[in-house]
Structure 1
Amino acid sequence: MSHSKTLSTALAAALALGLVQQAQAEDKGAKEKCYGIAKAGQNDCANLNGSHSCAGQATTNNAPEEWRYVAKGSCKSQGGLSTEEARAKMKK
């Protein structure tokens, strides 16, 4: 591969990566973690108690340590908890 093709490919990859990161940042800005609403196998990532670190590994419905991303401002209306509320509920 010639030097100019290598440089063009690297530049295109860098630009694409920047667009992906920007899209992810915008997407996360419109969402929030909502604890206690995930159904078994439908959590979005690691839970608060550290028993797993991947999406889809929740074993029970509506466990306070499991979360899903929801539209910002809609967690309470779905019966969910903030991170602090979920931690407090887990300590009880």
Structure 2
Amino acid sequence: MKTQTLVSSALVTALSLGLVAQAQAADAAKEKCFGIAKAGQNDCANLNGSHSCAGQSKTDNAAEEWKYVAKGSCKSSGGMTADEAKAKLKK
């Protein structure tokens, strides 16, 4: 019985590692793009800390809100980097 549990645990671990590697590869092909998220369509917490979850933005294209986009496509979408968004918010 212990051998079966050990083998099952090893198999689950191996499969999990494969899924994690896939998720990391997918994330590497994306970048955070600020100022393009529509209301309720942001991907996570904003820069000013007024919320910490996805889907909580209140206005379209707010500089502090972000979405993941394909790497290299942020500028052509009219978005900003995190540093550019922070500078805009300080003004």
TM-score for the superposition, normalised by structure 1: 0.95
Q: How does 1:13-28 map to 2 (within 5 A)?
A: 13-28=12-27
User: What is the CA-CA distance between 1:80 and the residue it aligns to?
Assistant: 0.1
User: What is the CA-CA distance between 1:82 and the residue it aligns to?
Assistant: 0.2
TM-score for the superposition, normalised by structure 2: 0.96
RMSD: 0.7
In structure 1, the gaps of 5 or more residues are none
Residue in 2 aligned with 1:61? 60
Aligned AA for 1:86? A
Identity, % of aligned pairs? 57
**Residues matched between the structures, number:** 91
Residue in 1 aligned with 2:46? 47
4+ residue segments displaced more than 3 Å: none
User: What is the CA-CA distance between 1:4 and the residue it aligns to?
Assistant: 1.7
User: What is the CA-CA distance between 1:62 and the residue it aligns to?
Assistant: 0.3
Q: 1:32 is paired with a residue of what secondary structure?
A: strand
